[in-house]
Amino acid sequence: MALKEFISILRPIDGILAAIAVLAGFLIAGSTLQFPITLAYALVSVFLFSGAGIVLNDFFDFEMDKVNAPHRPIPAGIIQRSTALYYSIALFAVAVLLAFFINKWCFFLAILNTVLEILYAWRLKRIALIGNFTDSWFPASSFLYGALIIPSLGVVPVLALLAFLANTGREIFGDLEDIKGDKKMKAKTLPIIIGEKKALMIARVFILMAVLLSILPWVLGLLSFYYVPLVVIANVVFVFSMFQEPSKNQALTKTAMLIALVAFLVGAL
């Protein structure tokens, strides 16, 4: 088993996006461009936490992934399930330990998210909307995590709300993509309970709410005008993604989220 398998199972892009959100939260909360060692701890810990959650989800989703994503390391037989579990535990432990060295607020948030991640991977992700909301809390809380380094939330909850809404829409699209495997495992996701057409409409509503509210940070004077051009580009990608197949939506919304994160950073400078 090569080192690259242990890196690829983390889906590093997701961890990098989470780290960018932490940096944005740190800057938007009113910090200067001086980067303390605690910020470095936070960036590394959120990256590890993101990876830990993904590995734990792959551990619990082994049977579903045989249908929905057989190429992933566990169903493909590249990494053993038991190895993945121990790997996830180690990643969570290091992430929480780093949070302990930041301050009590970051430590408490890390503990909370660890508990929620375990519950999500074990049970909650198979429950309509509850699973979607729980999973969307994690990227939203990355902004709060960055702000708590100072600690001062300031206007960061507004940006966390935008991330929460956009990610909830993306998660419902993900449920639409995974419906075949979810039905096999008797999961109670939104598309299974209310039907694919209604679930699709709800997913679009959440993404549209994020798009419509995205101008608020500039209107309220929370971010500079430099935020506007980039967030407009992100919104165009978000809107375009709403009318794509679920598999294409996932890639497009991740791209839109990256552009939005850069918009937050630029607007905060």
Find the range with the poorest average confidence among 28-32, 174-178, 265-269: 28-32
Q: Is the pLDDT of residue 89 over 60?
A: yes
CB atoms within 10 A of CB 256: 25
User: Comparing C-alpha atoms, which of 245, 197, 234 is closest to residue 212?
Assistant: 234
Average pLDDT over residues 134-148: 96
The amino acid occupying position 250 is: Q
Identify the pLDDT of residue 229. Answer: 95
What string of DSSP letters covers 144-196?
HHHHHTTT--TTHHHHHHHHHHHHHHHHHHHHHHTHHHHHHTT-B-HHHHH-H
Identify the pLDDT of residue 163. Answer: 94
Average pLDDT over residues 158-181: 92
- Domain holding 27, by residue range, is 3-268
Paired with 127 in beta bridges are 188
How many percent of the chain have pLDDT more than 70? 98
Identify the pLDDT of residue 5. Answer: 84
What are the backbone angles phi and psi of residue 127, rounded to the nearest 5°?
-110, 125
Identify the pLDDT of residue 198. Answer: 96
CA gap 263, 241 in Å, rounded:
19
User: Comparing C-alpha atoms, which of 220, 224, 203, 231 is closest to residue 267?
Assistant: 224
Q: Three-state SS for 76?
A: coil
Q: Is the pLDDT of residue 265 over 70?
A: yes
Q: Average model confidence (pLDDT) for the chain?
A: 91
Number of structural domains (the chain) is: 1
Average pLDDT over residues 10-38: 86
Q: Is the pLDDT of residue 2 over 90?
A: no
CB atoms within 10 A of CB 112: 12
CATH of the domain at 33: 1.10.357.140
Q: Is the pLDDT of residue 184 over 80?
A: no
Could you tell me which residue, 55 or 265, shows the higher pLDDT?
Answer: 55
Find the range with the poorest average confidence among 13-22, 98-107, 218-227: 218-227
Q: Is the pLDDT of residue 221 over 60?
A: yes
